[in-house]
Chain A
Amino acid sequence: MILGLAVIVVLPFVVGISWVLLVTELAILVLYAMAYNLTMGVTGMLSFGHGGLFGAGAYILVIAMIKGDIAMPYALLAAPILTALITFVIGWLCVRLTGIYFAILTLAFGQLIWATIWKMRTITGGDDGLTGLQIPSVMASPTNQYFCILAIVMLAVLSIKIIVDSPFGFTLKTIRENQTRAQCIGINVKRYQLLAFTASGLFTGLAGALFAILMRGAFVEFATVARAFEPLFAGILGGMHVFWGPAFGAGMLLSLDTFIGAYTEYWPLVAGGTLILLVLFLPEGIIGRIASIRKARAQRLNQSSA
């Protein structure tokens, strides 16, 4: 833990700027993947709408700063809160449905957000996006930006950790494991699902806003279906039922994208192939697999000592 912190603090002074930017991007993707996992991994709700929410967070920040002349700290506060409000409304309509129907309704809302961004040219700039975001000079250098964004991401991930480990988090996992049973022990399933979805939207909006800061603008690609698949991919890669699984998956995803992308333009081929193999042969994810091997070993040790 302390070692990790030390690495994070020292890193920008030993590596080049491109690495600093890459790690900053990684931090944002980690937050996005973990935010998404609050719905998918923790509560067991499959959502395809998070691309739209990510885009919403980014656009709210950029529109507030460029069109509304609002200072960055306030815009950065407004983006996740407004995204959470949007998520709440969407969630309120979606939690009536379950399984694949829930997923498709979230997909529809995600697409609705994407279409709105795409078509409302006067406000969002349409497919040109909104560029020229002015960052306060304190944060303008890549190193300072790195520290600010990493600090925010760590705070957010800590909050997610607290949520997941709280009684509330355990209730969510109960719902994931068995909805009927959860209902029978008196849990208001729909309400908890709505709360989990909203919390997930809050952090997704934050991730989107941070990404807009990193990219100095917002683009309609931020809100596509492909963007919605990213955190799900990260979760499957790392393992969505272990806390750090999606973070690890996000790291793998970004490094695959960056390093294989540098060798060949056919990176989707590699990504798709990896995904197919993972889903077929390692459905619990890499970190998930390691966790279950450890658990099995611990159980064996227990049995032999008893």
Chain B
Amino acid sequence: MGLDAILFQVLTGVGKGMNLFLLASGLSLIYGVLNVVNFAHATFYLIAAYICYTITGLFPNGYWLALILAPIGAALLGGICERLFSRLYDKEHYTQIMLAWGLILVFGDLMKLTWGSEGKMVPTPDVLAGGVPLLGGNFPITYIFVIGVAAAIGIALYVVLYRTKVGIDVRAAAADAEMTSALGVPVDKLYIIVFMVACWLAGVGGVIATLLSPIYLGGDLEIILAAFIIVIIGGMGSILGSLVGSLIYGVVFALGILVLPRFALVFLYILMVLVLIFRPYGLLGRPR
């Protein structure tokens, strides 16, 4: 296999990774600020993907509408779920994970009721169809679109967190919620906003993921495990870490498929185990 083909595969991996970044960054944000392990995070991703399917079915050029509406739907749902999680903020992590597991089961069944159990495909908008000749292959425009959207959102997230007043408040609440609250910042409201933003990110991830692969029930469990691997490798609570983790995940998976197709995922688990053993707080995380 030539170098071109390998580079091509790496680029595909970057696309998948950037898609996952939207999910992992939200997971990481919720953990970093709220100290909640949102095991149900990928469920919002899947719900948004299904909403996107419905909207594209209703309107001929519905994809762009879906890209705006579906993540908002996911965010609203997230806001409701945050109210449930808020009762467990001071409890042990396992109670939050069990609540999330309950949500996964309930939403999973509701999705089955609404959309049935067979897989769904979202038609690719005309603008994004086809590919560009690259490295001796034909690189799909959808991947370029996914990388572009994820990168733009990543930059926006960075600017908001590090260059605005709200971002300062969020980071302050992550460092010391009690002290931040004492300084007059409405931490409760901040938590709702952070949770909703994270679910919105997951929603965008879900909508753009429909361009790369079909939607199917139970896909959320697969994706959440991927997101966990990413935030563990990158470091829980670090946005930059989840970017690095996502890229590592995408590229290792894409290359793993070339080397040992059936064990691509195993490589990632081994990588995660190694990171946890030698640097439990992740590559870019800080011990807490």
User: Residues of A with Cβ closer than 8 Å to B?
Assistant: 40, 46, 93, 96-97, 99-101, 103-105, 107-109, 111-112, 115-116, 119, 225, 229, 232-233, 236, 266, 268-269, 271-276, 279-280, 283
Contacts and interface: CB of A to CB of B under 8 A. Distances in A.
Contacts, number: 103
A108 B269 contact: yes
Contacts of A119: 262-263, 266
Sorting the interface of chain B by its residue count into under 10, 10 to 19, 20 to 34 or 35 or more gives 35 or more
A46 B280 CA distance: 16
Chain A's interface: helix, strand, loop or mixed, by majority?
helix
B102 A100 contact: no
Contacts of A225: 221, 225
B113 interface: yes
Contacts of A40: 94
Given A46-B93, A101-B280, A269 B99 contact: no
A104 B263 CA distance: 20
A101 B276 contact: yes
Nearest to B273: A108
A105 B105 contact: no
Given A97-B280, A232-B94, A275 B87 contact: no
B259 to A, nearest CB: 14
B93 A279 contact: no
Nearest to B281: A101
A109 B98 CA distance: 20
Chain B's interface: helix, strand, loop or mixed, by majority?
helix
A280 B99 CA distance: 8
B45 interface: no
B105 A272 contact: yes
* 9 closest A-B pairs by CB: A272-B105, A275-B102, A272-B106, A276-B102, A269-B109, A268-B105, A272-B102, A119-B262, A46-B94
B276 A108 contact: yes
A109 B273 contact: yes
A276 B103 contact: yes
B69 interface: no
A268 B37 CA distance: 21
Contacts of A233: 98, 101
Contacts of B98: 232-233, 236, 275, 279
Nearest to B113: A266
B202 interface: no
A100 B37 contact: yes
B140 interface: no
Contacts of A101: 276, 280-281
